[in-house]
Structure 1
Amino acid sequence: MFTFSIAEMRAVLDRGRADADANGGYRVPYQGISPETDARPGLWLVGDEGVYLLSNGKLAEGQRPFVVYAEECDPKTNPDTWHYKRRHFGGDDGVEFIDAVELERLTAAAPDATHLQITMDDTSLSLSLIRR
């Protein structure tokens, strides 16, 4: 399971939209996906050195995307990050796209929630909201 504050999740979405407006659209995470028809607002759940949310707006030359690490899987704060990532995300690096419209519907339905939890298994990714 990976936990992110909703405020930080929204910051990632906002940054992706701002980058897209300034630089001509959205990036796509996989080859074979059409940037013209499939690129849309959202965020990427990325597993490599830790697990984090990544903005998907196109970037200017030299610009870095906005990143927010999962509470459980930030290499700066958790010395067990590699093992946690391997157990809950898998051993390989990877990326999963999460649509902004769906995230906004989910958070609107639970206005008292403070955190997004993402759970993965071999075949699915589940989103839930919690209040802390």
Structure 2
Amino acid sequence: MATLSFKISDIKNMAEHARAAKEHRACLDQHFDENLWKEEFKKRKVSDDEVFSELNGSHLDGDKIPAGFWLVKDQGVYLMSNGLPVDKAPDGKGMNISHAKGLKPGVDVDWYDAARRALGGDDMVCFIPLEWYDLSVEKGKRTLSIRVNKNSMSLVL
């Protein structure tokens, strides 16, 4: 089990971006969430294989994809807004992201091994609800802390 910590001050603008966005991107898990599907797709009673073949998002009802963050593991572990258009970094170069404490390449020496211990060896993207940020702020927390294990994620308050 590991706890990923993100400074509230570093992710505030991303939360505002996600909240203000008119459209949101779905991560892989959300493609399989029937609550986000268009009604006509639900009626087809499709298999997971069919959903996988529809990953262009044509089966999703864009109005149902909630605002939030993507928790990403690739070059380190970081949060980013799922809002569209993509949230640009303050310097205009690349995407606006915030790395978890101790998991930033080029800064943290052990980031690669620590990321593998926390989230496994594969790259991944998971949805984090905006409500977790809101609850952390309401409770006066300085960090959004997410407890992860190989089966689940939960907010730490």
Q: Per the shorter chain, which TM-score range? A: 0.7 to 0.9
> TM-score under structure 2 normalisation?
0.68
For CA contacts below 8 A with separation 6 or more, give which structure has more relative contact order: 2
Partner of 1:28: 26
Name the aligned partner's letter for residue 109 of structure 2: P
Structure 1 segments unaligned to the other structure (5+ residues): none
Q: Work out the CA distance in 1 between the residues paired with 2:151 and 2:26.
A: 21
Cα pair 1:26 1:35 within 8 Å, conserved:
no
Of 59, 83, 96, the match for 2:126: 96
What displacement does 1:35 show? 4.2
Rg: which structure is higher?
Answer: 2
> TM-score under structure 1 normalisation?
0.79
Percent of aligned pairs sharing the same letter: 30
Aligned length: 122
- Flag as ranges the 4+ runs of structure 1 deviating above 6 A: none
Q: 1:35 to 1:94 in 2, by over 3 A?
A: farther
Partner of 2:67: 41
Partner of 2:115: 85
Q: Work out the CA distance in 1 between the residues paired with 2:17 and 2:106.
A: 22
Q: Write out per-residue CA displacement over residues 61-113 of structure 1, whole angstroms, 9 at most, x where no aligned residue.
A: x98432001111000211211100000011001111111134313431x12x2
CA RMSD of aligned residues (A): 2.2
Structure 2 segments unaligned to the other structure (5+ residues): 37-59
Name the aligned partner's letter for residue 76 of structure 2: G
Partner of 2:8: 6
